[in-house]
Amino acid sequence: MKLSDIAQVIRSKNAGPRRLTFDIMFGSDEDYRRVAQSPGLSAETIGGLYGVPASEVAIFPYPVGRAIKVVLARKIMAGDPGDFDVYGAQQHAPLLGIEL
């Protein structure tokens, strides 16, 4: 099963000019627990998708909200030459295919 098959919302946005944040939200406690406990959603996996070291990826589970927040370093600061998404709103696509 892919992350996009179980999450109700997967979105990205800036967390300042040097970081991206991803919000992953679920419709049930069961779905949330399945993903939160899955080795497929790890700092190593996410870092590999975005070309950053796992040490630059932080994962914050939020069981009360059935959500997981991921924060990682941007490879290019927002607005610098070569940045193609100043707001970070189009960066979530690689997460969709994560196998759980």
Cβ 21 vs Cβ 35: under 8 Å = no
User: How many Cβ atoms sit within 10 Å of the Cβ of residue 91?
Assistant: 20
The pLDDT assigned to 93 comes to 96
For residues 45-68, average pLDDT: 97
Q: What is the per-residue pLDDT across 30-41, written as a single tens digit (0 to 9) for each?
A: 999 999 999 999
Check residue 3 and report its DSSP letter: H
Q: How many domains does the chain have?
A: 1
What is the distance between the alpha carbons of residues 33 and 36, in angstroms, rounded to a whole number? 5
Mean pLDDT of the chain: 96
The pLDDT assigned to 1 comes to 94
Provide the domain limits for residue 54.
3-96
The pLDDT assigned to 23 comes to 98
The pLDDT assigned to 44 comes to 97
The pLDDT assigned to 66 comes to 98
What is the distance between the alpha carbons of residues 65 and 71, in angstroms, rounded to a whole number? 17
Cα–Cα distance list, 71 to 1, 29, 56 (Å): 23, 22, 8
| Element (DSSP H or E) covering residue 67 | strand 67-73
